[in-house]
Amino acid sequence: MSGDSVWVLGANMTRFARYPELDALDLASQACLDAFADGGVGIHDMDILAAGTLFQPNGFGQRLQKQIGQTGIPVYNVTNACATGATAIRVAYLSIKAGEAEMGLAVGVEQMGKMGLLAGKSRSERKVYEASGRYDAVTSIDGILGTETMPGVFAQAGTGYAYENDGVGFEQFAKVAYKNHLHSTLNPLAQYQKEFSLEQIMGSPVQSYPNTTLMCCPTGDGAAAVVLISGERLRSMPEEAQRRAVKISASVLTSDPWVESGQVQPDVNTLTRNAAAQAYETAGVGPEDLDLVELHDCFATAELVHYDNLGLCERGGAGDFIDSGAPFRDGRIPVNVSGGLISKGHPIGATGVANVYEITTHLRGEAGDRQIEGAKVGLAHVIGLGSACGIHILEKAA
Amino acid sequence: MPDETSAEQVPIVGYLQLGDDPHLRANECTACGARYFDRRNACAKCGGTGFSDARVADAAVLKAYSIVHNAAPGIPVPYVSAIVETEDGTSVRSNVVGLDDPMTAELGMRVEFTTYVCGTDDDGTECVAFGYAPA
Ligand SMILES: [Zn+2]
């Protein structure tokens, strides 16, 4: 794509946690105001606002504006499954690319409380069988014709990979969770910061085998925001702002193309492979150039297949990849040094923005105890079932 | 196969065909052969709008599964959710049934289509579901 370059000027995220005393407007406002402060700008500098949330009622972006500044700029309300936050960033990105905006604000937020993601829809009260819907189903099919629960669907993505490839089993999936819990102990913004042994992870209650409780992301609350700026406008900013700015070398969004099994099991692989290929091509980098990756580990089984989908390992080699220690923070390609969704948390709308915040913070050299030293290039990946995949590749200012 | 009882029976989904020879049926794109279990407007693979009615093979292989321990209220757990591929190349989602121990489910195992009664409504109508049992 032509057009000016696009940069992250300011970034912030709230700690992911449970905030029963706050609402989603409080959380989003806090992330936006802190992202402004981080970038040395304010709402009057923004030409566009993109607000991502899955569970807030319609018009959330406009209600947010009424808390942080009503300037009359275009507001886009974004919903795109677990890729909601990444899509919000991409909306602001495209507006700058198109030359309509010089600066834009993208925010993602969710307040989930303790709502469960584990169980599917409960069965209806109706006691008379009557065919309805596009499958003429007479009752809820969840649990009868397979599972509709998220841990189960992603477990099947993992066991499907294990069927096609050698060296992948319960222990490899558990190691993913071991790594991410371990990483989270260095991240003060993570919802949980506790190390668990492999035995504790494999022995915790099974949700959907092979995913145990400690291999599933928690629900939670939080927000993250980024201020994006055009390359031209950035050159008029103070030297310090230019030094801390991080370049978006690729912003990609894909959906799932047709595959034979797609009508019965969401395909999380093909759209991620397609997005990764486009992102590497656009950025002119390859997986070997990445200093860190934040990828969508909603469940341990998901992270493992994405090693392969993102090209971090050889095709079919995700089991060896985790066994070799490569994705640990001292390994060849550190993955989810934030603790990932499994331990950092997954307030859905915020997740895709928080991943970009995490990469940005490392590229700036400001990640504190969890800093990956000398990081220059990073990749942020999210995927939502349905399906939507967002990838951003970020590079440190030259 | 469902019992030969006097109770009226309905299939849990429209693509399950009951009767003497229960089996699955699919809408098959006449242009490219892609199969679908739902009501179609057009083909997701090729965009074609012509469909014929096809029988899906009973024999299948277990391609992916999960042993679900935490489910919505009223669903007996644990159960084995599965993606199988029939011998004519159609992916189907259902449960593996007839295993004494769910942990004995094994990737690549051969399974066979079967039906069973999964519930009864207030009018006494039985709902017939399908699953896959070890072959
Ligand atoms: Zn077709």
Could you report the per-residue pLDDT of B5-53, keeping only the tens digit for each?
568 999 999 999 999 999 999 999 999 999 999 999 999 999 999 999 9
Alpha carbon A182 to its chain's center: 19
The minimum CA-CA distance between A304 and chain B, rounded to whole Å, is 15
Tell me how many degrees the CA angle A79-A85-A91 measures, rounded to the nearest 5.
80
Question: Is A211 part of the contact surface with chain B (CB cutoff 8 Å)?
Answer: yes
Q: Considering CB atoms only, which of B63, B95, B118 is closest to A160?
A: B63
Domain residue ranges of chain B, discontinuous segments joined by +? 9-134
Please determine, for residue B81, whether its predicted confidence score (pLDDT) is greater than 60: yes
Burial of A330 (0-12, 13-18, 19+ CB in 10 A): exposed
pLDDT of residue A113: 80
pLDDT of residue A127: 81
In this structure, are strands B126-134 and B9-11 parallel, antiparallel, or unpaired?
parallel
Say yes or no for a CB contact (<8 Å) between A138 and B68. Answer: no
Fold adopted by A6-115+220-247: Peroxisomal Thiolase; Chain A, domain 1 (3.40.47)
Token look-up 């098959």 returns: B28
DSSP for residue B6:
S
On the question of a cis peptide bond just before residue B78, with omega within 30 degrees of 0, the verdict is yes
SS3 for A61?
helix
Query: What ipTM score was computed for the predicted complex, to two decimals?
Result: 0.94
Question: Is A260 part of the contact surface with chain B (CB cutoff 8 Å)?
Answer: yes
Q: How far is the CA of B50 from the centre of ligand 1 (A)?
A: 8
> In sequence order, what are the beta bridge partners of B53?
B27
The answer to whether residues A10 and A242 touch, using CB atoms and an 8 Å cutoff, is no
Q: How far is the CA of A255 from the centre of ligand 1 (A)?
A: 19
Say yes or no for a CB contact (<8 Å) between B107 and A144. Answer: no
Q: Where in chain A is the domain with CATH 3.40.47.10?
A: 6-115+220-247, 150-217+249-396
The minimum CA-CA distance between B8 and chain A, rounded to whole Å, is 11
Give how far Cα B97 sits from Cα of A120, A143, B77, B101, Å. 20, 12, 12, 10
DSSP secondary structure string for all residues of A312-331: SS-TT-HHHHHHTTTTSTTS
Question: Is A150 part of the contact surface with chain B (CB cutoff 8 Å)?
Answer: no
Q: Which residue numbers in chain A have pLDDT < 50?
A: 1, 117-121
Q: What is the pTM of this model?
A: 0.95
Distance CA A226, CA A104 (A): 8
Alpha carbon A52 to its chain's center: 12
The answer to whether residues A83 and A383 touch, using CB atoms and an 8 Å cutoff, is yes
Q: How far is the CA of B43 from the centre of ligand 1 (A)?
A: 5
One of 3.40.47.10, 2.160.10.10, 1.20.1090.10, 2.60.40.1180 is the CATH number of A150-217+249-396, namely 3.40.47.10
Distance CA A109, CA A26 (A): 10
Q: How many CB atoms lie under 10 A from the CB of residue A239?
A: 7
Within 8 A of A206 by CB-CB distance, chain B residues are 67, 69-70, 78
User: Strand A103-111's sheet: what is its strand order?
Assistant: A75-78, A48-52, A103-111, A221-230, A6-13, A246-255, A388-396, A377-384, A292-294
Give how far Cα B12 sits from Cα of A15, A146, A177, B18, B128, Å. 45, 13, 37, 10, 6
Question: Is B130 part of the contact surface with chain A (CB cutoff 8 Å)?
Answer: yes
Q: What is the CA radius of gyration of chain A?
A: 20
pLDDT of residue A116: 57
pLDDT of residue A120: 47
Distance CA A83, CA A5 (A): 23
Closest CA relative to residue B95, chosen from B111, B81, B116? B81
DSSP for residue A82:
B
On the question of a cis peptide bond just before residue A210, with omega within 30 degrees of 0, the verdict is yes
Question: Is B70 part of the contact surface with chain A (CB cutoff 8 Å)?
Answer: yes
Q: Which two tokens stand for residue B63?
A: 């391609």
The residue count of chain B comes to: 135
Say yes or no for a CB contact (<8 Å) between A140 and B90. Answer: no
Q: How many CB atoms lie under 10 A from the CB of residue A131?
A: 14
Say yes or no for a CB contact (<8 Å) between B130 and A137. Answer: no
The answer to whether residues A149 and A120 touch, using CB atoms and an 8 Å cutoff, is yes
